[in-house]
């Protein structure tokens, strides 16, 4: 323990020298220059949750990357004329911050609104900062030696705890890189998509699945696990899918079938299992249907394949809506019907083709029943609002024409 203590004392003595103030000023200049460069690189772009810039410029990947590069150059220049202490600590701190930012930002982009990502973020931060403290204090070589001395037999091979931890770290790096690449490809594929959004979505899902598979295989190799040993695991996984995971596998397969056939597309207005709304997203396992009142329903993809689904936007987004009104007997129907049709056609959301139509559908007990049929082209905006506007237009027309809506009438005869 003498060597780590001596190194720590030497570092503390270096920090107490007057030259440390110069290093602090240089470090502050490096951080300010990094923030300015990132701000200029971002320009006037709208705030986003990108991996490079984050939400506030300094919480992305680019800021610690630029700051680390400038700090390394500054340390190299100052080391020619004086002993370096502050930058000697600042460089590994910035490197640790860069590692944390890369992992956290990639996970946030790949899995938005996930509570697991926050747990992983805190865990990773503790591990990285603990490793930094061990390195600064000089205890890291001793800890690594103790981990190397802790070993056991695993499948006929001598495995140490250090090799397992290094393999896990390598696997994490490979998986983060795979997620980063897949997230970048997905954002490129979905950018500006309109009518071919479903095709791009299936391509993005396929690319992510492929990259995750390749990343998992590379991560296992980096961890020192032979891929040939996965044959037994693959057989067990196949049996598990055949029995306990068949529903899960069916949902994943159904998701790709839906996206490939384009029977359901993002933006379609559907009704499934009594729930009606607009499809806001199609995942590989489930589909998100959002109702007009803000409620969201998560529908397993298998249900969309095996059950009856009403799609109001599959072939034609136009939807027919009807409303009814009664007028008193003796009303001039021939003159009133064109007036009502013209008033309904003037409602903003009512389309002209097909044009609104008025029908005399029933000789009711209290009056003549008129049924008004009209069409809209934006069912995603709901039907109640346009039906209300149509009813108000009909009421104004009846009032202007002096037509009465009859009250219920009953004749009571006394025996």
Interval 376-387: pLDDT, tens: 888 777 788 899
Choose one of 103, 124, 150: the last residue of a domain: 150
Does a structural domain hold residue 183?
Answer: no
pLDDT per residue over 148-199, tens digit each?
A: 777 776 555 566 777 777 777 777 777 777 777 777 777 776 665 555 566 6
Least confident of 61-75, 121-135, 154-168: 154-168
Q: Quote the pLDDT of residue 114.
A: 66
Same domain (yes/no): 232, 339: no
Confidence of residue 343 (pLDDT cuts 50, 70, 90): very high
Does a structural domain hold residue 364?
Answer: yes
User: In the chain, pLDDT over 70 holds for what percent of residues?
Assistant: 74
Same domain (yes/no): 13, 139: yes
Does a structural domain hold residue 198?
Answer: no
Confidence of residue 371 (pLDDT cuts 50, 70, 90): very high
Does a structural domain hold residue 165?
Answer: no
* Overall pTM > 0.85: no
Same domain (yes/no): 311, 337: no
**pLDDT(211) > 90:** no
Q: Quote the pLDDT of residue 11.
A: 61
Domain housing 367: 319-401
Residue 342 belongs to domain with CATH number: 3.30.70.100
Q: Quote the pLDDT of residue 1.
A: 47
Does a structural domain hold residue 136?
Answer: yes
Same domain (yes/no): 110, 21: yes
pLDDT per residue over 4-53, tens digit each?
A: 555 556 666 666 677 778 888 888 888 888 888 888 887 665 555 567 77
Q: Tokens 């795979």 appear where?
A: 178
Q: Quote the pLDDT of residue 340.
A: 93
Does a structural domain hold residue 176?
Answer: no
Least confident of 67-71, 97-101, 138-142: 138-142
Choose one of 270, 287, 315: the last residue of a domain: 315
Does a structural domain hold residue 27?
Answer: yes
Q: Quote the pLDDT of residue 276.
A: 83
Does a structural domain hold residue 267?
Answer: yes
Q: Which residue has the higher pLDDT, 177 or 404?
A: 404
State the total domains in the chain: 3
Mention every residue, 6+ apart, whose C-beta is less than 8 A from residue 214.
178
Same domain (yes/no): 311, 325: no
What mean pLDDT is predicted for residues 306-324?
81
Choose one of 101, 124, 150: the last residue of a domain: 150
Same domain (yes/no): 346, 250: no
**pLDDT(107) > 80:** no
Same domain (yes/no): 289, 389: no
Same domain (yes/no): 285, 329: no
Same domain (yes/no): 31, 146: yes
**pLDDT(213) > 50:** yes
Q: What 3 state SS string does the chain have?
A: CHHHHHHHHHHHHHHCCCHHHHHHHHHHHHHHHHHHHHHHHHCCCCCCCECCCECCCCCCCHHHHHHHHHHHHHHHHHCCCCCCCHHHHHHHHHHHHHHHHHHHHHHHHHCCCCHHHHHHHHHHHHHHHHHHHHHHHCCHHHHHHHHHHCEEEECCEEEEHHHHHHHHHHHHHHHHHHHHHHHHHHHHHHCCCCCCHHHHHHHHHHHHHHHHHHHHHHHHHHCCCCHHHHHHHHHHHHHHHHCCCHHHHHHHHHHHHHHHHCCCCCCCEEEECCEEEEEEEECCCEEEEECCCCCEEEEEHHHHHHCCCEECCCCCCCEEEEEEEEECCCCCHHHHHHHHHHHHHCCCCECCCCCCEEEEEEECCCCEEEEEEEEECCHHHCCHHHHHHHHHHHHHHHHHHCCCCCCCCCCCCCC
Same domain (yes/no): 241, 141: no
Q: Supply the mean pLDDT for the chain.
A: 77
């Amino acid at each position: 323990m003498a060597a780590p203590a001596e190194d720590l004392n030497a570092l503390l003595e270096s920090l107490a020298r007057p030259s440390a103030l110069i290093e602090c000023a240089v470090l502050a200049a490096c951080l300010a220059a990094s923030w300015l460069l990132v701000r200029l690189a971002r320009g006037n772009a709208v705030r986003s949750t990108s991996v490079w810039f984050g939400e506030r410029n300094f919480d992305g990947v680019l800021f610690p990357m630029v700051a680390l590069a400038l700090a390394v150059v500054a340390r190299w220049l100052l080391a020619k004329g004086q002993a370096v202490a502050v930058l000697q600590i600042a460089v590994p701190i910035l490197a640790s911050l860069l590692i944390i930012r890369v992992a956290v930002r990639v996970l946030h982009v790949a899995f938005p609104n996930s509570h697991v990502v926050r747990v992983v973020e805190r865990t990773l931060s503790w591990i990285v900062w603990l490793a930094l403290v061990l390195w600064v204090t000089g205890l890291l070589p001793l800890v690594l030696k103790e981990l190397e001395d802790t070993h056991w037999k695993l499948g006929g091979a001598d495995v140490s705890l250090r090799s397992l931890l290094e393999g896990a770290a390598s696997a994490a790096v490979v998986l983060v890189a795979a997620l980063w690449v897949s997230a970048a490809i997905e954002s490129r594929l979905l950018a500006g998509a309109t009518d071919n959004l479903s095709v791009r979505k299936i391509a993005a899902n396929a690319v992510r699945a492929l990259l995750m598979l390749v990343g998992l295989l590379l991560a296992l190799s980096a961890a020192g696990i032979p891929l040939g040993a996965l044959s037994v695991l693959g057989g067990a996984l196949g049996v598990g899918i055949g029995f306990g995971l068949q529903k899960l596998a069916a949902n994943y397969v159904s998701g790709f079938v839906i996206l490939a056939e384009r029977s359901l597309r993002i933006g379609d207005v559907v009704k499934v299992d009594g729930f009606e709304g607009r499809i806001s997203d199609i995942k590989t396992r489930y589909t998100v249907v959002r109702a007009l009142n803000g409620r969201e329903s998560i529908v397993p993809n298998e249900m969309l394949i095996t059950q009856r689904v009403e799609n109001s936007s599959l072939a034609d987004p136009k939807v027919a809506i009807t409303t009814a009104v009664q007028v008193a007997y003796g009303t001039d129907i021939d003159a009133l019907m064109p007036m009502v049709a013209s008033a309904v056609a003037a409602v903003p959301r009512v389309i002209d083709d097909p044009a609104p139509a008025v029908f005399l559908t029933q000789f009711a007990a209290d009056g003549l029943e008129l049924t008004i049929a009209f069409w809209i082209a934006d069912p995603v905006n709901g039907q109640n609002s346009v039906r209300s506007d149509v009813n108000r237009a009909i009421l104004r027309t009846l009032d202007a024409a002096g037509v009465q809506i009859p009250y219920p009438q009953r004749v009571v005869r006394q025996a």
